[in-house]
Structure 1
């Protein structure tokens, strides 16, 4: 979920090359909420600022559906509410290696013990 098409497209392409299934690019919080409600994905990379505002409502929807996510943002950690202090935060520009590492951690934390 990223409002800059080129960043979203680059990340999606890199993830697909590594074998991930990318179910869509979303640029607005409104569209992101619809995507979360529709489901069909296991985790999300979420920019803090989308075309129509901040994405903390999207983050709450993801939490409600138990879908893990990572923030990828240019905003400082001060902008992120304390309720999301446990969510991994990657600073833009991040590398695909950083994103993949965090995705791996999120996937492992979702495995039953």
Structure 2
């Protein structure tokens, strides 16, 4: 399969909120978002700062780590869902641990490859993800 510019940059012109509490993983996700053409919002590692970032500048897409230390990201997922903003969970856990309210939300298991992230983003932004 050959990739044209549009295929290689599915996040072109899109703002992506990255919520991840592990620095190295957050750094990798941010790098991938930028390589896929997106503008990173964050990254943020705490629930309060993620909610503040969401309110300050609504993203086009969000990447959410399920566990943020002692907190879970579910209040952010609920706010995104209410606003109609697509998101996906990035987690090292099995899908079975995701809160049932968000069972239909896509998730990518860590470690995440750029190709998988790009395809998931493309599907979500084209309305085929949830």
Same topology, TM > 0.5: yes
Q: CA deviation at 1:14?
A: 2.1
Could you tell me how far apart the structure 2 residues matched to 1:18 and 1:45 are?
A: 14
Q: 2:88 aligned to 66, 70, 87, which one? A: 70
Secondary structure of 2:88's match? strand
2:45 equivalent in structure 1: 27
2:100 equivalent in structure 1: 82
Cα 1:83/1:40, change in 2 over 3 Å: closer
1:108 equivalent in structure 2: 126
Q: CA deviation at 1:96?
A: 1.3
Q: Where has structure 1 moved over 6 Å in runs of 4 or more?
A: none
Structure 2 residue runs without a partner (length 5+): 1-18
1:10 equivalent in structure 2: 28
Structure with the bigger percentage of strand? 2
Structure 1 residue runs without a partner (length 5+): none
Q: CA deviation at 1:52?
A: 4.0
C-alpha contact (below 8 Å) 1:28/1:52 kept by paired residues: no
